[in-house]
A and B are shown apart, each in its own frame.
Chain A
Amino acid sequence: MLTILFLTALAGSLPLQTAQGASCQGVFLRQHGPTSVSPDQILSYKIQVVNEGACNLEGVQVTDYIPRRTVYREGQPTPSQVPVNSQEPRSHLPVHQVVWKDVSLPANGSTASFEVKVMVLPPGKRTITDTSCVEHPNLVRTCNTIDLWVNE
């Protein structure tokens, strides 16, 4: 019993995230899509993750934080988690994430592609931002952010 208490206390005192484990490198992430879009149109963009490193990566998670004032429509391949679209005025809380879990990225140049379609809501004349991140226990979390212009 004392041992369990001791181990529990020890576990509790350890940092939640240690600076260990990011042993793999060479994973890159980019979004490809139009530079501008009009309100009430479907915006389609692709997220491409490339593993140019030497590690075979299993269980990779790719998260796309879709731009504000857009409504999620579709994701390919089928995402593990999608935003719940609701007509409620507070539907933008919490942050809208599209998540793909358990992605495989074999070593030496493998690529995984994901496509997201969102409906862009008015108003126009604004910049919207999309951030995508790739995460794995053996990787430093890598994110990329792109800006798109919403026409008038």
Chain B
Amino acid sequence: MMNDPYAPAGCELTPGALFAKFARMSLPRVLFCFLFILAATAPDSIAMGRRQKSRALLMGVLGDSISAGTLSDLPLKPCAKDAAKSAKRPGGVSAKFIYENKEKLSWASGRSVSSHFYLLKSYLLASGSPDSLRVENVSSPGDRTRDLPKQAAELMKQYREGNYSALTYATILIGANDACGKKGATPLDRMRAELLQTFAKIAEIQQEEPIRILLVGIPRIPDLGAPAIRRTHTPLLGLRCGVVRDRLLGSCRKLLSWRTEEEYHQAMNIVEERNRLLRSTAIEANATFPNLEIVYSNHLFDLEIPPAMLAIDCFHPSKRGQEAISREVWLDQPWFWMER
């Protein structure tokens, strides 16, 4: 038995002196020491879940502006009451709102929405886990698959510096900027190679449990070019989405500026091809890296995007959109469900 430097005075745990010391102690002090010894010598984990050692778990978020919560503070169709409240609340609209709402509104890491971080935390709590969970959102607006290895390296850095026990869950929503590329979409073979590099980086983490990764496919971006959305008025001087997004901001013109059915389908082909690539690469990576469990979700591609879910730029998801993404995509993760 080792001496414990943090033991109360008179409670040294050397067995030789223990009984002699007990004999000289008052009864309350003996009881206190006895309880202390019990606590200090108890195993870290006791069967039947009575006491478990608390671990520090990490959730990672990789991706682009959707995961970064870009512009989610500013909905296209704001509820007047909410907007006024948000403007009055200190920090309601932060100086970084244009680029990042990672901490508050991101579907993956936000604390003001039912994000995956929130849902995972709720799951851990409900399942009686004593583990603490932190989230590192390394996503960045404009990022493509070529940026993912860098994001994975940053996540690894955070993982090591934070002395975490496990990377328990990671989300990757990527590919929209690859599909939108002004000089052409990112070639499929390059996307595959960059994704495999990313997975290889994450697979360097050695932990007992598998690293669970939810890879989320690209939403139906060309649908946002529908006339009904182009004609929608924005809060920006009442200008229409067609003017704000397509002419002033020039967001993803390649996929949004279709005018005929043929052009629409060409744009959808670009997205669908990349989603197929994400799906097949997830399967490939699962076979290559045994410590990864990658699940691909095509759910965003299967869903309609109503204008009420959009931010003021008629392109990014608003807070409601972020909520919807989180809710829908959570359905596709197979790991964190409670048995009744």
Interface on A for B, CB 8 Å cutoff? 15-23, 65, 68-69, 89-90, 92-95, 97, 126-127, 129, 131, 133, 135, 138, 140-141, 143, 145, 147
Nearest CB of B to A51, in Å: 17
**Cα distance A131–B296 when bound, in Å?**
12
**Cα distance A141–B226 when bound, in Å?**
29
Known: A20-B338, A129-B272. A92 touches B303 (CB 8 A): no
Q: What total count of A-B pairs have CB within 8 Å?
A: 82
Known: A93-B223, A143-B332. A19 touches B340 (CB 8 A): no
B323, A16: Cβ atoms closer than 8 Å:
yes
Whether B137 sits at the interface, judged by CB under 8 Å, is: no
Q: Which chain B positions have C-beta within 8 A of A143?
A: 298-299, 332
**Cα distance A135–B16 when bound, in Å?**
65
Q: Which chain B positions have C-beta within 8 A of A20?
A: 126, 337-338, 340
Nearest CB of A to B212, in Å: 13
Q: Which chain A positions have C-beta within 8 A of B337?
A: 19-23, 140
- Which 4 pairs across A and B sit closest by C-beta, in order of nearness? A22-B337, A94-B304, A19-B123, A15-B114
User: Interface majority SS on B: helix, strand, loop or mixed?
Assistant: helix
Using CB atoms, name the residue of chain B closest to A135. B331
Using CB atoms, name the residue of chain B closest to A94. B304
Q: Which chain B positions have C-beta within 8 A of A93?
A: 223, 226, 304
Query: 15 pairs across A/B with beta carbons < 8 Å?
Result: A15-B114, A17-B119, A19-B126, A21-B340, A94-B223, A95-B302, A127-B273, A127-B276, A129-B276, A131-B298, A131-B302, A140-B334, A143-B332, A145-B279, A145-B298
B331, A19: Cβ atoms closer than 8 Å:
no
New A-B contacts (8) at CB < 8 Å, excluding given A21-B340, A92-B261: A15-B114, A19-B122, A19-B126, A19-B338, A20-B338, A90-B227, A92-B264, A145-B279
**Cα distance A23–B339 when bound, in Å?**
4
Q: Which chain B positions have C-beta within 8 A of A129?
A: 272, 276
B331, A68: Cβ atoms closer than 8 Å:
no
A140, B298: Cβ atoms closer than 8 Å:
no
Using CB atoms, name the residue of chain B closest to A20. B338
**Taking each of A68, A93, A95, A141, which has the highest tally of chain B beta carbons within 10 Å of its own beta carbon?**
A93
A18, B261: Cβ atoms closer than 8 Å:
no
A21, B338: Cβ atoms closer than 8 Å:
yes
Q: Which chain A positions have C-beta within 8 A of B323?
A: 16
**Cα distance A55–B327 when bound, in Å?**
25
**Cα distance A134–B119 when bound, in Å?**
22
Nearest CB of A to B318, in Å: 15
The interface bits of chain B over 310-335 (1 if a CB of A lies within 8 angstroms of the residue's CB, else 0) are 00000000000001000100111110
A65, B302: Cβ atoms closer than 8 Å:
yes
A16, B114: Cβ atoms closer than 8 Å:
yes
Known: A20-B340, A21-B337. A69 touches B226 (CB 8 A): no
Using CB atoms, name the residue of chain A closest to B260. A89
Nearest CB of B to A71, in Å: 13
Whether B220 sits at the interface, judged by CB under 8 Å, is: yes
Whether B265 sits at the interface, judged by CB under 8 Å, is: yes
Using CB atoms, name the residue of chain B closest to A23. B340
Residues 143 to 199 of chain B near chain A (Cβ within 8 Å): none
Known: A22-B338, A131-B298. A17 touches B330 (CB 8 A): yes
Using CB atoms, name the residue of chain B closest to A145. B298
B269, A17: Cβ atoms closer than 8 Å:
no
Q: Which chain A positions have C-beta within 8 A of B336?
A: 19
Whether B268 sits at the interface, judged by CB under 8 Å, is: yes
**Cα distance A22–B269 when bound, in Å?**
34
Nearest CB of A to B114, in Å: 4
B331, A90: Cβ atoms closer than 8 Å:
no
A95, B331: Cβ atoms closer than 8 Å:
no
A17, B298: Cβ atoms closer than 8 Å:
no
Of B261, B304, B331, B333, which is within 8 A of A89 by CB?
B261
Using CB atoms, name the residue of chain A closest to B259. A89
**Cα distance A104–B304 when bound, in Å?**
27
